[in-house]
Amino acid sequence: MPAEGCCPDRFTYNHLIHGVCKLGILDDALRLLKQMETCGHKPNVFTFNMLIDGFCKANRIEEAFRFLGIMGERGIAPNDATIRSLIHGSFEGNNPKGAYDLVCGLLEKQQVLSEEACNTMLHCLSKAGMVSEILSLLGKIEEKGYFPNPSVFRGLMICLVKGSKCSESCKLLDKFRERGGKPCFDSYIIHAKGLYGVGRNKEGDLYVGYLVIDGLLCSVYAYNSLIDTFSKLRLMNKASQFFDEMIEKGYTPTLVTFNMLIDG
């Protein structure tokens, strides 16, 4: 380009950096960054986002965080894409604490995270089984008006129940309903299964009742799932109760239904 009398600008360099980062040629990305600055063009948030994303995907997490530090030194605020890239990269690179500390640090600075960034963080924490961190983060972001979407909420319920945090999952589910959230069928089943599994049957009955109230017990699949849950827990009186109700409401039991009852 210079030979043709055309000088690349920041927009040009950003495109070039994006291309080499996408191909994983990170040394060329660093070379272009240096060349860009030598030519007097200052990298912006988009430049750093592409570098951070490229280094995260190459599992070079420490270098990705180094770029975050450079952004701070230059007064360039990270945006939603920056944060999500670092969260995903940290978890993929087996550094979940790095992502958690990053998000908590941003929240301490009163930065408002987008709903998507919060969902990404909670989803990753759930997959990693980091129960304490989930509860702590929920406390911080609920104060700022955030609450998880139904898909992320389901993952949280699985994680809390697996971590034997049934009391916490009760509070979370109750709060979700109070705020007008609509838990999915699986969220109720996961939660109820956890309660029945530790002998908290009355509470389990309460949340199974919410399935009816919310209109979610309305198919052969739904009844089969409930019957399967009770059969596996050896609560055959409840399995039989819902089998009878299933027939009364006009849903025809399948071979799967009978197999679950027999196994129970």
Q: How confident is the model at residue 51 (pLDDT cuts 50, 70, 90)?
A: very high
Structure-token match 């948030």, residue found: 45
Q: Residue 1 — very low, low, confident or very high, per pLDDT cuts 50/70/90?
A: very low
Residue 172 scores a pLDDT above 90: no
Question: Is 96 within a domain?
Answer: yes
Residue 7 confidence (pLDDT) above 90: no
* Integer Cα distance of 164 and 198 in angstroms: 9
Residue 204 lies in a domain: no
Neighbour-count burial of 252, counting CB atoms closer than 10 A to its CB (0-12 exposed, 13-18 middle, 19+ buried):
exposed
Computed over every residue of the chain, the mean pLDDT equals 87
Indicate whether 27 belongs to any domain: yes
Residue 75's domain spans which residues?
1-109
Per-residue pLDDT, 2: 52
**19-41 pLDDT, tens per residue?**
989 898 999 999 999 999 888 89
- The region that residue 20 occupies, defined by phi over 0 for left and psi between -120 and 50 for alpha, beta otherwise, is alpha
pLDDT greater than 90 at residue 220: yes
Q: What percent of the chain lies above the pLDDT cut of 90?
A: 36
- The answer as to whether 248 is a domain residue is no
Q: What CATH number does residue 69 fall under? A: 1.25.40.10
| 9 occurs within a structural domain | yes
Q: Could you tell me the pTM of the whole model?
A: 0.74
Overall domain count for the chain: 1
Mean pLDDT throughout 64-70?
90
Q: CA dist 65 to 68, 74, 81, 248, Å?
A: 5, 14, 14, 60
Examine residue 90 and state whether it is found in any structural domain, yes or no: yes
Asked if residue 86 is part of any domain, the answer here is: yes
Instruction: Answer whether residue 155 is part of any domain.
Output: no
Of 88, 100, 93, nearest to 131 by C-alpha is: 100
- DSSP state, residue 219: S
The pLDDT of residue 85 is above 50: yes
